[in-house]
Structure 1
């Protein structure tokens, strides 16, 4: 029964992540509007730096919300992916799977978004998604340790 619930959680997470990554309208313009000009940003941390700069030096309320949605959302969206990849890593024995797996999945998502014209290709998203996966893998690695210390004698 636990395995079924685990697999159901995986399917629900993947479905929700796909909807967020490809169909969720993050602004007033729909992601499915192909008339909107899409862009490719290959420069690491350029977009994230711009979000921080705008939140500090411009309208803080508006730009802070955009900063949290972009940076926080990209990290948090891949935390469960890191947990899944960590569990898969234990089965396969490939220690770098949470890092390389998340980076390749994120690269694939960014490529699909630009090719299908439902988003932009931003290297910052790959960096933040991979960071989120590493955070999730770290949490998955720490969970057994926390259970040992919180178990009653």
Structure 2
């Protein structure tokens, strides 16, 4: 087995572990106790940016860590998709492929949260996921371009 194959296998394993932890952070309440979240009677959000704007306007009403995770959590969590998807999957070459993968994963998470009551469906999470994977994809491209020149 050559180095390229070993590297591809290692990156595929890292991608699988990343997807596992992505699911954990979206469906588990606390890593220490691994208790599944359960939401009943909450309002879901299908209006783009409405909950994000509320969090930004009412920053003083939230603990800093809660506020930070709501505003930046999905952005940070999805940066690796933009980096790892093109490396892991040979057919993923351009940004549109990364966008489709991001939308598939993020919308799936939101629908599972809605159906299972293990989270809150929020369109803002999908938008922030796209922002995160876009940062990852173009950040990796810039890094590779700068490294090669």
**Gap regions ≥5 residues in structure 1:** none
- Tell me the residue number matched to 2:146: 146
Q: Does the CA contact (< 8 Å) of 1:41 and 1:122 recur in 2?
A: yes
In structure 2, which of residues 11, 19, 26 is the aligned counterpart of residue 14 of structure 1?
Answer: 19
Query: If the length of structure 1 is used for normalisation, what is the TM-score?
Result: 0.80
Please tell me whether residue 40 in structure 1 is matched to residue 44 in structure 2: yes
Shift of residue 92 of structure 1? 4.3
Quote the Cα distance in structure 1 between the aligned partners of 2:42 and 2:128: 20
**Secondary structure of 1:118's partner?**
coil
Query: If the length of structure 2 is used for normalisation, what is the TM-score?
Result: 0.81
Structure 1 segments of 4 or more deviating over 4 A? 92-95
TM-superposition CA deviations, 1:61-98 (whole Å, max 9, x none): x3443221112111000001111233367634554112
Q: Does the CA contact (< 8 Å) of 1:54 and 1:63 recur in 2?
A: no
Query: Cα distance 1:102–1:81, how it changes in 2: closer, same or farther (>3 A)?
Result: same
Quote the Cα distance in structure 2 between the aligned partners of 1:66 and 1:2: 37
Matches within 5 A, 1:1-153: 1-25=6-30, 31-33=36-38, 36-55=40-59, 58-59=60-61, 62-87=62-87, 91-93=91-93, 95-149=95-149
Equivalent pairs, count: 141
